Amino acid sequence: MIQVIVNALVLGLTYVLMASGLSLIFGILQIVNFAHGQFYMFGACFLYWLNMKLGVSYVLSVLLSMFIVGGLGIITELAFFRKLMKASIIAVLGVVLGLMVGMEGLMEVLFGQDSKKVTTAFSGVLRARHFSISYERLAVIFASLIIISILYYWIRYTREGTATRAVAQDKRAAELVGIDVNRIRLIIMGIGCALAAAAGSLISPVFFVSPYIGANAMFKSLIIITLGGMGSLPGAALGGLILGFIESFSQTYIGNITEMLGFLLVIVILLVKPQGIFGVAFEMAE
Amino acid sequence: MGWPLKWLNDKKEIGNRVGIIIFLFIVCLIPIVLREDYYVHILIMGAVWTILCMGWVLLLRLGLFSLGQAGFLGIGAYSSGLLVLHLGISFWFAILLAGLFTALVAFSLGIIILRLRGLYFAVVSFAFGEVVRNIYLNWISLFGGVSGISGIPRPDPLFGLVFKSKMPYYYLIVFLTLVTGIVLYRIDQSRAGRIFRAIGHNSDLAQSQGMNIKKYKVMSFTIASFFAGIAGSFLAHYYTTIYPDQFGVWDSILVQIKATVGGVATVVAGPLIGAVVMTVVSEVLRGYMAGLEPLFFGVFLIAVVFFLPGGLESLLNVRRVEKIKRT
Amino acid sequence: MVLLDVHDLTVNFGGLTAVNRVSLQLNESSVLGIIGPNGAGKTTLFNLISGFLKPSMGEVFWKGKKITGLRSYQIASLGLVRTFQSNVVYKDVTASENIMRSQYLHFKTNLLQGVLNTKSYQEDEEAMKKRAQTIINFMELSDWSSTLAGSLPHGLQRKLGIAMAMACDPKVIMLDEPASGMNPGESAHIMHKIRQLSDRGIVVMLVEHDMKVVMGVCDRIIVLNHGQKIAEGSPDEIQKNQRVIEAYLGSEEMVL
């Protein structure tokens, strides 16, 4: 039982990281970044290269991977998203899907098609009377919690974080108060993609790394933010944990049913209560 | 039946129309010139994608960005395959039934989900495609799970055409594409197309002028999916083996990519160019290295969005861009 | 005969009551003006009557039948057509194509006939073009028929908006600030057009801030303030009404 809960937390917390990134990006840039899963995948691939190929220590690899992918996020904002601020939905979805597809292709070329294994830096198992938990999983849980806490601290107490909340609530009002919205967009793309990379790097020793893991991650993030409310951080947190627990506890069933149920849930929620549990109602300009 | 001649004699359009005749002539001759089966296969696939892309563009007229067209392709394929395998129906009936069944599913789904706009609709259409694919994967007794259904019979001989080689398939799909193209072109040019565009441009205004938005969205959704279903049925009896991964997210996204790259200002020309060109390109790239295909597609798509919003089609005809502005 | 009968129409948003128990009646051959300071609820009232907003309370009757809660396209098809304050035209197409689109209610659209391009379909298309031309000429927009509506100056867009409403075959046209942003020459022209519409038997209901237009064109005027009707009467009566004058004191919209 404890094992299942631990697994649930491992999955759930990394989902929270990923979904929070997506939610932030949606809340500030009003773009559903379908390529978000690819940033997650990039995080995993960079971790593999740094840790396994270059021998960089695991912790440092995770941080570097977050940093690099966060940087890629910032480049994406400057090169693409910034120009889409007044664009039609065809243009926005075109770019976002183009990124999704292109990034996977790029990694296929650079990384190769095979799944590769990352050996854990935390080998060994914690044994107690009724259960045993691998140190690796504990490390993932621990690291995720730290990152999430830092994120929440940042958004509540720092100047930039407060400014971000202001922009999410009302962009024009924030501009009038003197907040540099463009700078916030950059910061959020950096943070959002770094969060995705964090999720990818942390989970890679648990599963495996390949250029194809992005699509699945994207599906899950989409389900989570729809459930919790697009643009809502508490929603992403709740949704992520719920999905993690559902997946972990239904390991006994066929894995695919969870995904199908997840998508059915997406459809139902968007029809009935598009704001999700916590979320922000949103009218997309057409 | 003087209308074919009258059609040709329309002085204004005669340039275009003669061009179309020549084009069709070439299309019919190509497989005879290109002996290689492989090339004919590429053209067949190009035609299938054209059907999907044309329907996708029609939906775009109303502001509907569908990421689930591959789902309807799959419904057409599976329903047709199963009808022929289990009920012994002739392919020639099954293809029609599959199209109608797909249209029925689209109609029922549409009534529920078509009140969603823009982004929400895109996400739901995407989710729908995945739900359907999961059904194929999990309902193994009916759909065969991961390995899908194999042994689907080829079409019965018709008018002396025996479906053993690629050639009869080629002519069949060309015919289907032609029919689809004519119907969708006519719809786009007609008052219905005008209504679709009004709804897509400014749905509040359209409503205030008496247009029932939902009705027309459901109508176009059903039509586009009907043709996707027909294309799916064709595929099922062409491949003779179908499995869930043929109808996944990647394929729905491909429809969007090919159509956008081709150009969405027209319902036939843009999608045709985009589908054929991109299908050829993808075959070439796939031969070289895995990963090149999605990489180039992603780059193409983004390049088109930023630098050539009218798509490849707009390169051909500056005059047509002006004509489109008037519609 | 009473065409439109609005009874105690009310709508609440959260804690705010934007329209509060407003009643009005619209008779054949009349021009009704709705005025009031900014935020009085005039456009909201339009939205309620035309089906773009659902009322919290109250009823709307059209020719004696209840139409409260009907969808906007259904109300339009009954002959009650409205224009918008912003978002007046289809920006991406020409002025004449705007009118063509607006003729939806006047001509049947049959999908099958359209696909087959039958003779009767083509005849209808010709008739539509002629009718569009007539309407464009009426609003004196023929110089701009091939211009993209989005690039038309503001005043012309509003005229196009009125032309589009005419194309819908209306019994009643609800004009939302038709003279907004127009200079005196343009607004005089609009007044003339509204009177011509009324002469043709179309009933006009308008929301307007330009008092010259309102006083010059309307038979009756209703004044709203804070969502409530505070006065109703002829232009003379309204101009002398103490409550109306008080409502406008302090706001700059009164252009007498």
pLDDT of res. C160: 93
Question: What is the average pLDDT score of chain A?
Answer: 86
| Residue among C81, C104, C168 whose CB faces B195 most closely | C104
Number of H helices, E strands in chain C: 10, 10
What distances in angstroms separate CA C227 from CA C13, C20, C44, one per listed residue? 12, 5, 9
Contacts of C156 (CB under 8 A, 6+ apart): C141, C144
Q: Which chain C residue lies closest to B200 (C-alpha atoms)?
A: C90
Q: Are B182 and B199 in contact (CB under 8 A)?
A: no
| Residue among B119, B138, B290 whose CB faces A284 most closely | B119
pLDDT in tens, B88-123: 899 999 999 999 999 999 999 999 999 888 788 988
Q: Which two tokens stand for residue C76?
A: 């339009």
Q: Which of B14-18, B55-59, B147-151 has the highest mean pLDDT?
A: B55-59
Q: Kindly report the nearest CA distance between residue C207 and chain B, in angstroms.
A: 17
Contacts of A283 (CB under 8 A, 6+ apart): B117
CA B131 from centroid of its chain's CA atoms: 21
pLDDT of res. B212: 94
Q: Which two tokens stand for residue C38?
A: 């900014």
| Residue among A91, A104, A256 whose CB faces B294 most closely | A104
Q: Which two tokens stand for residue A215?
A: 């699509």
Contacts of C135 (CB under 8 A, 6+ apart): C99, C163, C166, C167
Dist CA C34 CA A23 (whole Å): 45
pLDDT in tens, A82-139: 999 888 888 899 999 999 999 999 999 999 888 888 887 777 777 777 777 888 888 8
Bridge-based pairing of strands A132-134 and C228-233 is unpaired
pLDDT at C250 over 80: no
Residues linked to residue B280 through DSSP beta bridges, in sequence order: none
Tell me whether residues C116 and B186 touch, CB distance under 8 A. Answer: yes
Taken as a whole, chain C contains a residue count of 256
pLDDT in tens, B275-311: 999 999 998 888 888 788 999 999 999 999 999 888 8
| Residue among C97, C109, C168 whose CB faces B327 most closely | C97
- Report the interhelical angle of B269-288 vs B292-307 (nearest 10°): 150
Q: Among B115, B205, B226, which would you mutate to test the C interface (most chain C Cβ atoms within 10 Å of its Cβ)? A: B205
pLDDT at C232 over 80: yes
pLDDT in tens, B308-324: 888 888 887 655 545 55
Q: Kindly report the nearest CA distance between residue B274 and chain A, in angstroms.
A: 14
| Half-sphere exposure of residue B235: CA atoms within 13 angstroms, side-chain side | 28
Tell me whether residues A94 and B135 touch, CB distance under 8 A. Answer: no
Q: Kindly report the nearest CA distance between residue C231 and chain B, in angstroms.
A: 29
pLDDT in tens, C145-190: 899 999 999 889 999 999 999 999 899 999 999 988 888 888 899 9
Q: Which chain C residue lies closest to B180 (C-alpha atoms)?
A: C115
* B chain contacts of residue A257, beta-carbon cutoff 8 Å: 134, 138
Which phi and psi (to 5°) does residue C152 adopt? -75, 145
Tell me whether residues B127 and A102 touch, CB distance under 8 A. Answer: no
Dist CA C202 CA B85 (whole Å): 64
Give the three-class secondary structure for B280.
helix
pLDDT of res. C251: 53
Bridge-based pairing of strands C31-35 and C203-207 is parallel
pLDDT at B1 over 50: no
* Residue A77, amino acid: E
pLDDT at B325 over 80: no
Dist CA B281 CA B33 (whole Å): 20
* Residue A131, amino acid: F
pLDDT of res. B302: 94
Q: Left (φ > 0), alpha (ψ -120 to 50) or beta: where does B210 sit?
A: left
pLDDT in tens, B6-35: 565 666 667 777 888 888 888 888 888 887
- Residue by residue, what is the 3-state secondary structure of C5-72? EEEEEEEEECCEEEEEEEEEEEECCCEEEEECCCCCCHHHHHHHHCCCCCCCEEEEEECCEECCCCCH
pLDDT of res. B69: 94
- Give the domain ranges of chain A: 10-211
Chains A and B: 3 or more CB pairs within 8 Å of each other: yes
Q: Which two tokens stand for residue A200?
A: 């990818």
Q: Which chain C residue lies closest to B216 (C-alpha atoms)?
A: C111
* C chain contacts of residue B203, beta-carbon cutoff 8 Å: none
pLDDT of res. B13: 66
Dist CA A59 CA A202 (whole Å): 9
* Residue C238, amino acid: I
Dist CA C156 CA C69 (whole Å): 33
User: What H or E segment, with its residue span, contains residue C206?
Assistant: strand C203-207
pLDDT of res. A282: 45
Tell me whether residues B325 and C148 touch, CB distance under 8 A. Answer: yes
Q: What domains can be seen in chain B, in order of their start residue? A: 39-326 (1.10.3470)
Bridge-based pairing of strands C228-233 and C65-66 is unpaired
Dist CA C220 CA C33 (whole Å): 6
- Report the interhelical angle of B91-113 vs A255-272 (nearest 10°): 50
Place of tokens 């409503």: B207
Q: Which chain B residue lies closest to C168 (C-alpha atoms)?
A: B209
What distances in angstroms separate CA A54 from CA A49, A58, A120, A208, one per listed residue? 6, 11, 15, 18
pLDDT in tens, C79-125: 999 999 887 899 989 999 999 999 999 888 888 888 888 888 888 88
Dist CA A31 CA A47 (whole Å): 27
pLDDT of res. A126: 75
pLDDT of res. A139: 87
Helix ranges restricted to H, B62-165: 69-87, 91-113, 118-138, 140-143
Bridge-based pairing of strands C220-225 and C31-35 is parallel
pLDDT at B255 over 70: yes
What distances in angstroms separate CA B109 from CA A126, A266, B103, B104, one per listed residue? 51, 14, 10, 8
* B chain contacts of residue A105, beta-carbon cutoff 8 Å: 291-298
Q: Which chain C residue lies closest to B324 (C-alpha atoms)?
A: C93
For residue A63, which of A3, A147, A138 has the smallest C-alpha distance? A147
Q: Are C201 and C30 in contact (CB under 8 A)?
A: no
Taken in order A110, A113, A119, A122, the sign of the CA dihedral is positive
| Residue among B187, B194, B211 whose CB faces C100 most closely | B194
pLDDT in tens, C191-216: 999 999 999 989 999 999 888 899 89
Tell me whether residues B305 and A101 touch, CB distance under 8 A. Answer: no
**E strand intervals along A10-79:** none
CA B173 from centroid of its chain's CA atoms: 12
Dist CA C4 CA C10 (whole Å): 16
Q: Among B60, B190, B213, B223, which would you mutate to test the C interface (most chain C Cβ atoms within 10 Å of its Cβ)? A: B190
Q: Which chain A residue lies closest to B133 (C-alpha atoms)?
A: A260
For residue B207, which of C126, C90, C19, C114 has the smallest C-alpha distance? C90
Dist CA B64 CA B125 (whole Å): 10
Q: Among B3, B13, B187, B191, which would you mutate to test the C interface (most chain C Cβ atoms within 10 Å of its Cβ)? A: B191
Q: Lowest mean pLDDT of B38-42, B56-60, B164-168, C243-247, name the range.
A: C243-247
User: Is the minimum CB–CB distance between A45 and chain B shorter than 8 Å?
Assistant: no
* A chain contacts of residue B123, beta-carbon cutoff 8 Å: 32, 222, 226, 266, 270
Q: What is the DSSP letter of C233?
A: E
For residue A36, which of A230, A179, A172 has the smallest C-alpha distance? A230
% of chain A beyond a pLDDT of 90: 41
In the stretch 52-91 of chain C, residues with CB closer than 8 A to chain B read 52, 71-74, 76-77, 81-84, 87, 89-91
Give the three-class secondary structure for C220.
strand
Which phi and psi (to 5°) does residue B37 adopt? -55, -35
**CA dihedral in degrees (C158, C163, C167, C172; nearest 10)?**
70
User: Is the minimum CB–CB distance between A126 and chain B shorter than 8 Å?
Assistant: no
pLDDT at B160 over 70: yes
Dist CA A118 CA C70 (whole Å): 62
Dist CA A244 CA A250 (whole Å): 10
pLDDT of res. B324: 52
For residue A27, which of A276, A284, A230, A240 has the smallest C-alpha distance? A230
pLDDT in tens, B175-187: 999 999 999 999 9
pLDDT of res. A280: 57
Taken as a whole, chain B contains a residue count of 327
Chains C and A: 3 or more CB pairs within 8 Å of each other: no
| Residue among C52, C81, C114 whose CB faces B190 most closely | C114
pLDDT of res. A284: 33
Average confidence (pLDDT) over C118-137: 91
Q: Kindly report the nearest CA distance between residue C111 and chain B, in angstroms.
A: 6
**Which of the residues in chain A have pLDDT under 70?**
251-256, 277-286
**CA dihedral in degrees (C20, C24, C30, C34; nearest 10)?**
-10
* C chain contacts of residue B197, beta-carbon cutoff 8 Å: 93, 101
* B chain contacts of residue A113, beta-carbon cutoff 8 Å: 290-291
pLDDT of res. A286: 22
Which phi and psi (to 5°) does residue A239 adopt? -60, -45
Q: Which two tokens stand for residue A160?
A: 């930039």
Dist CA B47 CA B58 (whole Å): 17
* B chain contacts of residue A88, beta-carbon cutoff 8 Å: none
User: Is the minimum CB–CB distance between A275 and chain B shorter than 8 Å?
Assistant: no
Q: Are B281 and B296 in contact (CB under 8 A)?
A: yes
Tell me whether residues A97 and B301 touch, CB distance under 8 A. Answer: yes
Dist CA B202 CA B217 (whole Å): 14
| Residue among C90, C94, C109 whose CB faces B205 most closely | C90
% of chain B beyond a pLDDT of 90: 60
Q: Among B62, B115, B134, B214, which would you mutate to test the A interface (most chain A Cβ atoms within 10 Å of its Cβ)? A: B134
Whole-angstrom Cα Rg for chain B: 20
User: What H or E segment, with its residue span, contains residue A248?
Assistant: helix A233-249
Q: Which chain B residue lies closest to C94 (C-alpha atoms)?
A: B326
Q: Which chain A residue lies closest to B63 (C-alpha atoms)?
A: A286
* B chain contacts of residue A97, beta-carbon cutoff 8 Å: 253, 256-257, 301
pLDDT at C3 over 60: yes
% of chain C beyond a pLDDT of 90: 57
pLDDT of res. B8: 57
For residue A280, which of A241, A235, A244 has the smallest C-alpha distance? A235
Tell me whether residues B302 and A80 touch, CB distance under 8 A. Answer: yes
DSSP letters for B55-81:
HHHHHHHTT---S-HHHHHHHHHHHHH
Q: Which two tokens stand for residue C30?
A: 């009349």
Q: Percent helix, strand and coil across chain C, each rounded to 5?
A: 40, 25, 35
